[in-house]
């Protein structure tokens, strides 16, 4: 059973835990560097990216999170988690984990009142995934090594870069676990490659 962590400092933690367990993987809440060492894949959940960064700094987790990505371990950022993963943020001169080769704009879809749900065609996942957008960021552009998995109109809303996965919306707020299944398969592939290399 693969061990999937959820960064549990702030945000939609419980919903991700539920989705992981629905996919019959082991869910681990990650609140420290020691917890991070226990997991084989990590989800950076939706929430408030500024608050998350303050807590990441307080618990001295920024460099360990960056190293987790550098070590090739799968990471999945949803909404605020996508902002944490992105290499560049519109209007800011700094990034957070910064390992996803994409430019992301915060709150691109407006305020809470502008929230909506649509069916998305996601490459390799589903043609009808119920995507929930809440104060969602937009992926403005990506580098050549980043695969675009889904768009909404002319906006990029889900991407994959090797072992990194990011989306603008909240898959954990639905009972559809196909994206979580996709991420768990990424983790299993990563583990299989690790064994092969050894």
Phi, psi of 50 (to 5 degrees): -65, -45
Give yes or no: 79 in active site. Answer: yes
DSSP 54: H
Catalytic residue, from 79, 96, 163, 177: name it. 79
Phi-psi region of 14 (alpha: psi -120 to 50; beta: other; left: phi over 0): alpha
Residues 97 and 53: beta-carbon distance below 8 Å: no
CB of 88 closer than 8 Å to CB of 118: no
Does 172 participate in catalysis according to the annotation?
A: yes
Please indicate whether residue 105 is annotated as part of the active site. no
- Measured CA to CA in angstroms, residue 92 lies from 2, 86, 95, 105, 106 at distances of 36, 12, 8, 9, 10
Cα(110)–Cα(58) distance, integer angstroms? 29
What residues are labeled active site? 79, 170, 172
């Amino acid at each position: 059973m693969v061990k999937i962590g959820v960064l549990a400092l702030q945000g939609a933690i419980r919903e991700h835990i539920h989705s992981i367990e629905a996919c019959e993987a082991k869910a681990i809440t990650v609140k420290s560097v020691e917890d991070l060492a226990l997991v084989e894949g990590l989800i950076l959940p939706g929430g408030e990216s500024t608050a998350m960064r303050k807590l990441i700094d307080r618990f001295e987790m920024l460099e360990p999170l960056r190293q987790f990505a550098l070590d090739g371990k799968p990471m999945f950022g949803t909404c605020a988690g996508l902002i944490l993963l992105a290499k560049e943020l519109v209007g800011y001169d700094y990034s957070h984990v910064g390992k996803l080769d994409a430019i992301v704009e915060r709150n691109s879809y407006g305020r809470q009142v502008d929230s909506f749900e649509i069916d998305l065609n996601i490459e390799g996942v589903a043609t009808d995934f119920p995507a929930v957008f809440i104060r969602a960021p937009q992926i403005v552009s990506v580098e050549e090594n980043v695969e675009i998995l889904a768009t909404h109109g002319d906006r990029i809303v889900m991407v994959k870069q090797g072992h990194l996965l990011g989306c603008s919306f909240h898959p954990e707020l639905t009972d559809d676990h196909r994206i979580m299944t996709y991420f768990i398969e990424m983790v299993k592939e990563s583990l299989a490659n690790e064994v092969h290399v050894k």
